[in-house]
């Protein structure tokens, strides 16, 4: 189903940004439900851009959901779903994540 939506976006049948947001929302919700992470608004230093990010419970890690979804969906046929599953597994297992102090919002993805 995801591959069909990517094809639709590439053919101009639906806006690519709409697909990015839909995938980001669905994937982020799944991580929240399964792993206890949450989606928050994060304002970058200097008061600039506010983005919706997925954060670990201790705020050690963050993922800019829309940017991550955009990069994954542009990887090509079959790669996107595998990459989403790979990062989900890495978050679940925790053993291969880079060391980071709690509260650092170290960006993943």
Q: What is the pLDDT of residues 69-103, one digit of tens each?
A: 888 888 766 666 678 888 999 999 987 899 999 99
Structure tokens at 42: 């994060």
- Mean of the per-residue pLDDT values of the chain: 85
Note the pLDDT of residue 76: 67
Q: Give the Cα separation of 87 and 99 in Å (integer).
A: 16
Per-residue pLDDT at 30: 94
Q: Which residue has the tokens 């890495």?
A: 90
Are 27 and 72 within 8 A, CB to CB?
no
Strands 38-43 vs 50-55: parallel, antiparallel or unpaired: antiparallel
CB 80 within 8 A of CB 33: no
Cα angle, residue 4 at apex, residues 84 and 25 outer, rounded to 5°? 40
Q: Which two tokens stand for residue 49?
A: 């851009």
Query: Which residues partner with 39 through β-bridges?
Result: 54
User: For residue 49, what pLDDT is reported?
Assistant: 72
Mean pLDDT value of segment 6-33: 85
pLDDT at 77: 64
Give pTM, 2 decimals: 0.82
């Amino acid at each position: 189903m995801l591959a069909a939506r990517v094809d639709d976006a590439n053919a101009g049948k639906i806006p690519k940004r709409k697909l990015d947001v839909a995938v980001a929302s669905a994937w982020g919700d799944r991580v929240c439900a399964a792993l206890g992470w949450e989606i928050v608004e994060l304002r970058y230093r200097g008061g600039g851009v506010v983005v919706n990010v997925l954060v670990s419970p201790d705020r050690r890690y963050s993922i800019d959901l829309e940017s991550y979804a955009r990069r994954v969906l542009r990887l090509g046929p079959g790669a996107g779903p595998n990459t989403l599953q790979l990062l989900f597994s890495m978050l679940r297992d925790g053993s291969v994540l880079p060391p980071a102090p709690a509260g650092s919002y170290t960006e993943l993805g």
